[in-house]
Structures are given as C-alpha cells and as structure tokens.
A and B are shown apart, each in its own frame.
Chain A
C-alpha cells in the first residue's frame, strides 16, 4: 500500500470510529442535557454542569442545552468523577471560560460569560463524551477563527527550525571529522560535545527514517540507529555506528584509530542523508506537541539516568538540548495554543522556566558542551529533583496534542 492510499484508509477508518463513538456515547448517556432553555436569575441565564461517575462512566451533564443571548452563568459541581477535573466553554476552539481543579468533595464553582447567538461547546476532558453542544439564541456575532491561522504559521516556522538544526548538524559533524582525521583527541572531544545538541533538539522528528532499499526492521538502513545508537541497545547483526561509537573511542579508549576515522566519516555522511530527508517533512500541530512530549520522555529515560553519554558524561548537554527542542516546538504552537487554552499555556511557560532555572545551575563555560560533567554523584544527589521538575512539565505537555489536533 502506498502512503497516500494508506492515509486515506486511515482517515476513513477514523471517521467510522468517530461515528461509532458518537452512537455509543448516546446509547450510554455519556453526556446529556435536558434540552430546556436556561432560566434567568440575577440578570444571567443559569446553567449548571454536573460531573459524575455513573456505573463506571464519567459523565458531564448540563441542566440546559440552550440559553438566550446575554450573560450566562455556568455553575460546575463535581459530584463523583475522578476522571474529569476541568470544564471549558468553547467557541470555534477558543476557550471563553473555564474552571479547573474540580474534585469531588469541593464546593460548586461558577463563571459568567456574555454570549452572543451561536453554537458553543462545553468541553469536559476525561468524560466519555467530552464535547456537549450548547446553543445560544438571539443576536449573532461573527467569531473569527484565528486559531487555525496561528497554528498553521507555527508549523511552518517549526519546519524551518528543524531543517536549520539538521543543516547545522552537518557542519558540526564535519568539524568532528576534521579533528578526528587530524588525530586531535582534545579537539575531537570538544567537537563531539558541540555536535550532540543538534541531534538532541530535533531527534523526535528525525528518528524514524529508513534508507531506501531497506526493510522496516533492518537496522542497517535505520538512520537513527546508524547515528545515535547507544551500546546498551546494539543489534549484533549491524554492529555499532554513529555518535556513541565515536564517543567510546574518544572518551574511554582516548585513542583515534583507523576505525574511529571510518566511523566519523560514516557519521558525517549519514547526517547529510538525514538532512536531505528532513527537508521533505511536513508537520501537523499535534506532531509538534507529541514531539515536544517525546523529547521530555528522552530526558527522563536516557539523560537523567546517565545512560545516553556513558563515556563523555555530557548528559546535561543533551538534557538541555532536548528541553530546548521541546520548548521550540511549544513556542511555535504557543500563539495558537494561548487562544485555545490560555491558562495551560501559561502553566507550561512557567514549568519550562522552572526546568531551565534548574539547568542553569549546571552551566559551566569551561566544561565540554557548556555544562558540568554528569557524574554519578550529581545523579544521586540531583537526579530526583531534576526528574520531578521534568515530570511536571511532561504531564502538562502531554495534554496539548489533543487540544491542537482538533483546531
């Protein structure tokens, strides 16, 4: 099956699934409304939203499905749902009002918005049926959907960023090759640490490429394998290639052999191949969101553990590059995302700030790559704190794909 046919069948299946979901949600009453027009009190239409767990399903129920144009007060009470902790009122993907931290046992909370005639949606993330329609009758005003436009220009900007990083990686690996060819150990070590961040900033975007003519499971044609494989995950049939094989020679054996030179030349060639492939990539907003999330997963799995740079111990250089890449992807989504969910956007900005403040402590301009060596002592004393900080950011970042994907 070629790619476009595959994409079409996926889309058809997705549509069928969406339909099935709607039907099943109706059947179980995943969300419901009384359908009556909201009564007016204190100068505002009154709509109550109840969150509950009914027979194991989390449901979000509105007291009325319609209201007259004008001020509308939504009063939200979580009776018993563990899955829903947030409610938003949406118009064309924009959040007009929201309440967070809705836990059973806490009192009801409300927000009031002035609405013109039109179609709105109440979004209850975590509910079996997450979106419930809400109609306002009366004077209509046009709501410009600027979210899509903001996201569209964001993905273009991000694509250019990835291309630039990979292009810069070519000159960085060429510098490494020059130093290795000259037998200059100190220079090569330095060049190694300088080349690493380019890959680490964008690795979630470029880690699935298979060279033409190779099968999907053949690591001999897997560019990520050939460029970035660690000793712990080697495929014996293909052997060791790429950055970390060079790292071993430069930092453990501390000698440059013919094999080191071959490995480095091969690395430089593969980075050029990567560059050619990267230029053809296009992205969807959710790719940026998932990519950012994946980069933090990399931090948690390989950097905080000290596995990535087992010989050079420049794990903090990679760590900072992963975070920077994630922050770039997020920054390109930010203009759109802030229209969709301003408080989440603000929270993520704060969380990136917290991670970066922590990382700043380890900056050392005299050290390889600009960060202190990630010793086992630092890992033992600081690893848990670094991990907790990244974990909080990761948990938030993991929620944005669903938000931007529908925009």
Chain B
C-alpha cells in the first residue's frame, strides 16, 4: 500500500480518493492479474497437469468418487502423504450440519478429479477467491478424502441421537494411555491422502474454510510418509526403522470379514466402517541408542528383512511356540508382533493405514515425531482388545506414548446426486 508518495495536507487537493490511494502502482499490477484470470476463465479449468513437477508420475491418478461401495482412503492403496483434521461442531442447527456435509461431498468429488473448487482468481477486483489455488497444476495425485462422524454429532444438539451408529462412543481409557486433550476427540474428521503433500494439504485447508461458522478445527496431524502398504506395494518402514503392516489386511475377504459393516440396525451405516485414530509419539532419541538385538526383540522381527525371529522372509508366518535351547520363546511373548498377532487374539484383525509424522522439535530440543496410527474395523472393540493387551505388556511401550485418540463412524460412499450421510437428514 505504501507504494506512492502523496502530498499530504495540500489545501488545494480536491480530496484524496481512498480507492486511488489503495491502487496506485500496485493497482495496475492487480488489474494485470484480472486479465490473467479472464484468460484462465476462457479455457475453463481443464484437468490440471503436473508435467515437470516432482510428482508428475502420479498426477493423473484419479479415484472414482460417487457410486462406490465404500468411501475412498480405506481400501485404496495407501498414498504417500496424508493430513488428518478433526473438528468440533459449533453449528446451532441440524440444517447447518447437513449443508456442510453436502458441500464437503461436492468439493471432495471435485478435488478428487484434480480440479479446484472455484475460480482461484475470480473476475472483479473485490471478488474473494473460493479456491486457495496451491494445488493448481499438480493434478489429482490419487487424492482421497475420507469423512468420519464422531460421537458428538449424535449428542443432544442436533436431534440425531436416534440415528447413532451402534458402536460409536468415546474410546475408554486404555492401559498406558497418556492422552492430551488437545489431540483427542472431535465431532467430525477428514482424512486426506494423496501422492503429493500439497494436494492433501490443499484439500484439508479448503474444506476447513468451508466449515467456518459451522465447525472449528480441533486437532490435526500431517503424515509425511506412509507406514502401511497395499497389495502391490512394498511394506514401508515406520520412524523406528522397522517395516510396518507386514501382516495388514489386504484381501477382499478380510475386508469383508473385519472392516465393512453390514446388516446394521442403522442401515445407513451398511458399507461403512469405524476409524480409530491415535497419535503415537515415539521417543526417537532413546530408540536410536538401543542396541539392534534389543530392537529386534521389541518388535519380534528382524530389522532389515522384517522376518519374524522364527523365520527368514518377511512374509513367513511367525511361530510363537518355537523355543530356544534355553526353553524361552524365540519371539518374546511381550514383543509387539506376539501381542498383536491374530493367532494370539482370537483371530481379530484390523486394517491399519498409518502415516509417519514429525512436528519439529519439542520444548527440550528432542525430535517431536511418531506415528499417526489410523485403523479401520467393523467393531471398535477389536482395537480396544488389541490395545489393552499392547498397552499392558508391549516392550515397545518404553519407546512410544499414545498422546492422541479419536473414534469416528465412517459412512459408505455417496451416490451421484447425494452426499455423505444424507440418510441422517431424511
């Protein structure tokens, strides 16, 4: 603004126009931008291309959005990056929540195609852009945004108590929990995953803006690297350097048995699932100084190959009964893999879809990082049972701390012409 010297206090001045004051040399530049906007409008927003960008190879991956059996971002092969954001509803009426879910659905559908949700440079100098623009030209990047509904949506505020999904509640306090209020709960959540970090970020940023006046942000975690794999992907590693998710659910049969909801009394949740999010802080510095043999005992797997201590290949089935010459189990009973294995938990499996996170350094100069654990299951009690065991006995607890937690009901995917959880408002 301070781009031009003005003759102040000139008695003969007919009056200094406030508008002229704001424009000046900068005004011409602003007008130039509008011309650019018009040119953009002439071509419409053709599907963006990321040619030449670092993530060009994945730019054109587009997952279909409407008329799918389930929401994306669950069975979808994990993308490289994620942003999870939870919200508190501040709306005073059910109608506001309905409009938000409808607007979110339409916006997600559009961003999934790699398109902005409005003109980032609208015509007219006073117009305010609808889309913030930082994902322009990056492409779709396999974006998925998964919408979850927290227990608070079904409390007394919106008259939706009678439609509450049967198993949706606050998770109970679990052994070793060190939850912090600022990373816990939420009435709604969005989990955006994409092969370009800025595409995932853009989705959450613009959807959060849509929520203004209806919901406020509660907590968020940005995942910079996937820590779980789909059937065609190599098992990635968590920040402790170990492969994570080797025995994860990948087959349709397992998804059908352990993830998707069916025959629900709340029939609108059929095809949906439950999402457990846990922010797990890792004590990076102490872990890094732990000797390799102990690290492998903690996990029950080898570090390089990721093989169970009783086998040679990553996908060898662990043998929990095999004992050493001294008579001890080769895979310690308190190792992470032994406590979490379905063989030792009545067959229970959950689908994990976690991401590594880092948030800089903490107040004493230590690395603030860990795992955004995200898991999908058709009964939250499956997670509760597993984590009760792990929280009580896992040798890994010396190096990790569960600091955030939330449970959400995830409805099925929306149909064309409708929106997520539309049945709530019938």
Contact = CB atoms under 8 A, between A and B. Distances in A.
A285 to B, nearest CB: 10
> For the side of the interface on A, what is the size category?
35 or more
Interface string B377-417: 00000000000000000000000000000000000001001
Interface string A390-402: 0110011011011
A281 B16 contact: yes
B99 A286 contact: no
A42 interface: no
Given A82-B106, A402-B128, A20 B9 contact: no
A86 B22 CA distance: 29
A276 B41 contact: no
A216 B27 CA distance: 15
Given A205-B18, A211-B8, A402 B23 contact: no
Given A57-B41, A105-B418, A126-B130, A277 B8 contact: yes
Given A24-B39, A280-B15, A105 B31 contact: no
Interface stretch (B112-120, B156-164, B316-324): B112-120
Nearest to A78: B106
A80 interface: yes
A399 B122 CA distance: 13
B231 interface: no
A405 B19 CA distance: 11
A104 B106 contact: yes
B109 to A, nearest CB: 8
A104 B122 contact: no
B6 A210 contact: yes
B19 A56 contact: no
A83 B130 contact: yes
Given A216-B2, A401-B126, A24 B417 contact: no
Given A20-B38, A106-B102, A210-B4, A280 B44 contact: no
Contact of A281 (B5, B21, B122): B21
Contact of A216 (B4, B18, B45): B4
B4 A103 contact: no
Contacts of B125: 14, 405
A58 B118 contact: yes
Contacts of A130: 123-124
B409 to A, nearest CB: 19
Given A21-B38, A105-B106, A391-B212, A83 B119 contact: yes
A384 B213 CA distance: 13
Residue in A217, A222, A287 whose Cβ sees the most chain B Cβ within 10 Å: A287
A56 B46 contact: yes
Interface in B297-355: none
Contact of A105 (B10, B122, B419): B419
A286 B19 contact: yes
Contact of B103 (A85, A209, A210, A281): A85
Given A24-B42, A208-B2, A388-B216, A106 B98 contact: yes
B107 interface: yes
A19 B390 CA distance: 68
B42 A27 contact: yes
A286 B39 CA distance: 26
Residue in B4, B102, B106 whose Cβ sees the most chain A Cβ within 10 Å: B106
Interface string B129-144: 0110000000000000
Interface string A214-242: 11110001101000000000000000000
A101 interface: yes
A111 interface: no
A186 interface: no
Interface string B36-58: 00110111111100000000000
A287 B22 contact: yes
A365 interface: no
A367 B386 CA distance: 54
Given A208-B2, A212-B8, A103 B119 contact: no
A361 interface: no
A353 to B, nearest CB: 14
Contacts of B250: none
A105 B100 CA distance: 11
Contacts of A105: 102, 105-106, 414, 417-419, 422
B17 interface: yes
Nearest to B122: A126
A392 B90 CA distance: 11
Nearest to A100: B99
Interface in B200-215: 209, 212-213
Contacts of B28: 9-10, 13
Contacts of A6: 20, 23-25, 27
Contacts of A140: none
Nearest to B131: A83
A289 B125 CA distance: 13
Nearest to B216: A388
Contacts of B119: 58, 83, 126, 128
A209 B128 contact: no
A17 B124 CA distance: 9
B364 interface: no
Contact of B5 (A24, A81, A215, A289): A215
B3 interface: yes
A53 B20 CA distance: 36
B174 interface: no
Contact of B2 (A25, A224, A282, A287): A224
Nearest to B8: A277
A28 interface: yes
B35 interface: yes
B240 interface: no
A128 to B, nearest CB: 5
Contact of A212 (B7, B98, B106, B107): B7
Given A104-B105, A392-B212, A53 B6 contact: no
Contacts of A284: 17-19
A300 to B, nearest CB: 12
A396 B212 CA distance: 10
Interface of B: 1-10, 13, 15-25, 27-28, 31, 34-35, 38-39, 41-47, 90, 95, 98-99, 102-103, 105-107, 109-110, 115-119, 122-128, 130-131, 209, 212-213, 216, 414, 417-419, 422
30 contacts: A3-B4, A3-B24, A10-B31, A21-B38, A24-B38, A24-B41, A25-B41, A56-B44, A82-B117, A101-B95, A104-B105, A105-B418, A207-B1, A209-B2, A212-B7, A214-B5, A216-B4, A216-B5, A224-B2, A277-B8, A280-B8, A280-B13, A281-B21, A284-B19, A290-B22, A290-B126, A399-B128, A405-B124, A405-B125, A405-B126
Q: Which 6 A-B pairs have the closest CB atoms?
A: A56-B45, A83-B118, A103-B102, A105-B419, A287-B18, A104-B106
Interface of A: 3, 6-7, 9-10, 13-14, 17, 20-21, 24-25, 27-28, 30, 53-58, 78, 80-83, 85, 101, 103-106, 126, 128, 130, 205, 207-217, 221-222, 224, 273, 276-277, 279-284, 286-287, 289-290, 384, 388, 391-392, 395-396, 398-399, 401-402, 405
